[in-house]
A and B are shown apart, each in its own frame.
Chain A
Amino acid sequence: MRRTLQSSGARLAISAVTLAVLSGCASVSLEQNVSRVNDEASSFTEKKLALSRTEQERKERADAAQALLTQPLGQREAVQLALVNSPSLQALLAQGWAESADAAQIGRIANPIFSYERMVAGDELEIGRALSFGLLDLLTLPTRQGISRYRIEQSQLRLTSEVVDQVTQVRQAWVRAVAAQQTLRYARQVYESAEATSEIARRMQAAGNFSRISRAREQAFYADAATRLATANHQATATREELVRRLGLDEAQAPLLKLPERLPDLPKQAMDPQTAGSYATRNRLDIRLAQTNFEAYAKSQGLTTVTSLTDIELTARRNTKTDSATGSRSDPRGYEIGVRLPIFDWGGMQRDAMSARTLAAANQLEATIRAAGSSLRESYSGYRTAYDVARHHRDEVVPLRKVISDENQLRYNGMIIGVFELLADARDQVNTVIAAINTEQQFWLADAALQASLIGRPTSTTLSAAAPPSGAAAAGH
């Protein structure tokens, strides 16, 4: 008898080991998560994303950040810096790990329950031992492991999406900071021009050549220019601090941040719609995310049909009964099956909820597929328009303004126009350059948005019309 019991105990143990192995398939590690993100979004991360857990790893990251901070930070370097430096990205990775670990949990079997019973009735002592486990739990294990895999997949895709998001935000913050700094330089030139104008006007009044009103008119422009310079100054600070936050720089790192003088040149050619379209169809994160969501729900639907109706508990039982009066002892063995009776709940609600969720996921998938093309076209249009506008400014507007300035210089030389007109024109030219920087900024913002959209993280770009050069009204006098 004992032998039999022992052998049945061994069988249980073997089963447990088998389960452990089976459930091992659904386990997930941090490294898996990170390398998955690095593979999926290699164009974004250049496979340099890592979560550091040890002091050694943290130091390595700090050193890499320090190295990046020695040079003016290009857009690519800004992304690298964020990847190694940003605590929020690290937090994202850790959270992603947690999420996939949770997802992996679904694919594991619940631990068996061991119960021990001791009952005394007069002279009789009964000791019951039972090892019970959910039979359905075991039976549905392969299905649940499937679900778990989908959930893990889903959490990893979501993590990748969020990394893409963060990287896009770093890129855009970088573009804004560089453009604002560039704009500030030109705003300072407008201010200097206004200052010179105002000073000439002051001296003209002192020499008796200007009336108070003429002088005041010139000085009013100077006053406006001062306001605009202050605003531009703040804008440069604000956008830089935004970048500092995105990069996760600490107090010691922030002052080291150097930005390039100007935005990169426009690409020689804009990405053509075919190239953009070819990225779009497969492999989009948003579609795959919706797909795995749907599959996970679909998979669990079959499972719910069973589990919602019944919960079968299988228990192996061995009791020992001792009667001290008779000195007799018996060891009854057997098993017990417990079934939850579907009296109050026939599982209809659960099944309904499940099929509703599946239905929702299916429609969500369909909606995502349908929206994917549209949002990509929108992103592309934003990108393409921004490119064309920026190029138009570079090739047409700024050169035209230059021609006007050159001709005005000649006219000034010929005493056809005066110094105030010349200075007003110089301000107009500077404002045109500022408008051109604005269009370049919009292009690079749209470019970052398009990159994100292509990988399947639809990001919209709002294009604002380039402001006409202000100060045109001042050119009259």
Chain B
Amino acid sequence: MTSRRDFFKLAGVAGGAVAAASVSRVAMAALPEPVIQTSPDTMAPLVPNSGRPYNPVVTLNGWTLPWRMNQGVKEFHLVAEPVVREMAPGFKAHLWGYNGQSPGPTLEVVEGDRVRIFVTNKLPEHTSIHWHGQRLPNGMDGVAGLNQPAIQPGKTFVYEFVARRPGTFMYHPHADEMTQMAMGMMGFWVTHPKVKNPLIDEVQRDFCFLLNAFDIDPGSYTPKIMTMLDFNLWSWNSRIFPGIDSLNVRLNDKVRIRIGNLTMTNHPIHLHGHEFLVTGTDGGPTPKSTRWYEVTTDVAVGQMRQVEFLADEEGDWAFHCHKSHHTMNAMGHNLPTLIGVDHRGLSKKINNLIPDYMVMGERGMADMTEMEMPIPDNTAPMMTGEGPFGSVEMGGMFSVLKVRRDQKPGDYKDPGWFKHPEGTVAHEYEGPLSEPARFKAEGGQSMPRAQTPSQPTEVKVRKPQSHSGH
């Protein structure tokens, strides 16, 4: 990475991105200089200074690729290359991506733009790019072998087509696809409408991110590319909580969020405190008659969803995948449940053999966030994230929508924790407690059971106790 970094010089565009050095300028005289991003932070929207105007999007923990206009054609330069992506503070992954990051930069164009994209392959194997969801000439669709020869290492290919349809798209390789997507190669594409479209509303905030998943063995850096379902890192734009930036908006902003799914399973994406409408898919804007309010939308594999809502409730609202395993970081999926298993007398015995052993899971998994214990190097803890009231006990696909009255228009800075108005936070009840009367079920089962268990089931509940014993 370092030697390649030396190859490019700082360009100062898009918040710390760097452009190709003069050495390569000779070699690639006809190409736009590739711009490289070194930071995993969410970059401010790239307001267009050439071409047709549009309202730019904000890529969560990402950036938009600058372009150059060349005789009316919008020219981008993507460089496919190995990258080191910080997936969360203190946890880095060796991935493949574009222009310094995984996922690659967002490409933003306007309906009707003629777009020319140079793709340079700096990977050790061939690649190609498929422009997911676009209307384009068949030879530009990017399926290696079917539509074009694969781009060999060191080669540059050029794609050129007109962005015919406004909407939300993505790009990813279509050569050794399994490997290259498991390694993090993907990016977002947004085509803004040229003129006012009755199905596309004006919004004040427009966020986008891709859902992706990795299987990185705790203590290692490179994803296991053969994994099919048992991923251990569920990420948005190759970031995991608490590494995912919050979505900061001004009260009463109309907000659009565009989500694409390049994992191998579906993700029910859920927003607290507001209802949203699904206003678009990879097929384009949805007809108004098909829209209904909901708080969770399932983004199936290979799909895109565009949701819109009015951010009219102040506060810090959780925004996450509703598959609870997807709001966890690296963890074992084959651990026995220890809830309710009394460890008295056992811990000492085990400590004789394993001095650092501590009982975990006897009360549930929250122990994990309460005990500061060393874990393998380069591993994000399974549940983490300190909120204003303690640990959020989350990981993976989790972020926060921050709605603030005093957020400036166009300002995406994190406003900090929400200051709740007096009396609006749940609190401990301090009055008298009376023993609840147990409700006796009136009805029976729909059908009686043929065999009755030999012993009646009895649930033993252990009273909450102090943690001092652990």
Contacts and interface: CB of A to CB of B under 8 A. Distances in A.
Contact of A409 (B356, B368, B371): B356
A57 B326 CA distance: 85
Contacts of A407: 219, 376
Interface residues of A, number: 31
Interface stretch (A18-26, A83-91, A196-204): A196-204
B338 A416 contact: no
A2 B219 CA distance: 117
Contacts of A192: 349, 352-353
A104 B330 CA distance: 86
A426 B354 contact: yes
A422 B354 CA distance: 9
Contacts of A195: 349
Given A192-B349, A418-B334, A207 B339 contact: yes
Q: Which 3 A-B pairs have the closest CB atoms?
A: A414-B375, A413-B373, A418-B335
B336 interface: yes
A20 B361 CA distance: 96
B218 interface: yes
23 contacts: A189-B352, A189-B353, A192-B353, A199-B346, A199-B349, A200-B341, A207-B460, A209-B338, A209-B341, A410-B218, A410-B374, A412-B357, A413-B356, A413-B371, A415-B332, A415-B361, A416-B218, A416-B330, A418-B332, A418-B361, A422-B354, A422-B357, A423-B353
Nearest to A418: B335
A410 B341 contact: no
Contacts of A221: none
A223 interface: no
Contact of B381 (A409, A411, A414, A419): A414
Interface residues of B, number: 37
B331 interface: yes
B335 A409 contact: no
Interface in B251-306: none
Nearest to B376: A410
Most A-side CB within 10 Å, residue of B334, B341, B356, B371: B341
A414 B367 CA distance: 11
A414 B339 CA distance: 17
A417 interface: yes
B162 interface: no
Nearest to A195: B349
Interface in B325-365: 330-332, 334-343, 346, 349-350, 352-354, 356-358, 360-361, 365
B382 to A, nearest CB: 5
A243 to B, nearest CB: 29
A34 to B, nearest CB: 52
B335 A417 contact: yes
B355 to A, nearest CB: 9
A474 B338 CA distance: 19
Contacts of B381: 414
Most B-side CB within 10 Å, residue of A189, A199, A210, A409: A409
B235 interface: no
Nearest to A406: B356
B335 A203 contact: no
A418 B350 CA distance: 13
Interface string A179-192: 00000000001001
B376 A203 contact: no
Contacts of A208: 340
A169 interface: no
B37 interface: no
Contacts of B64: none
Nearest to B344: A203
B128 interface: no
A411 B336 contact: no
Contacts of A209: 336-341
B237 interface: no
Given A414-B381, A416-B218, A418-B336, A203 B368 contact: no
Contacts of B373: 413
A38 interface: no
Contact of A416 (B331, B350, B353, B361): B331
Contacts of A200: 341, 343, 346
Contacts of B346: 196, 199-200, 203
A423 B64 CA distance: 50
B341 A207 contact: yes
A193 interface: yes
B374 to A, nearest CB: 6
B379 interface: yes
A97 interface: no
A222 interface: no
A192 B346 CA distance: 10
Interface string B224-256: 000000000000000000000000000000000
Contact of A415 (B219, B335, B349, B460): B335
B374 A413 contact: yes
A451 to B, nearest CB: 38
A424 B174 CA distance: 44
A67 B77 CA distance: 89
A420 interface: yes
A156 B315 CA distance: 102
B452 to A, nearest CB: 18
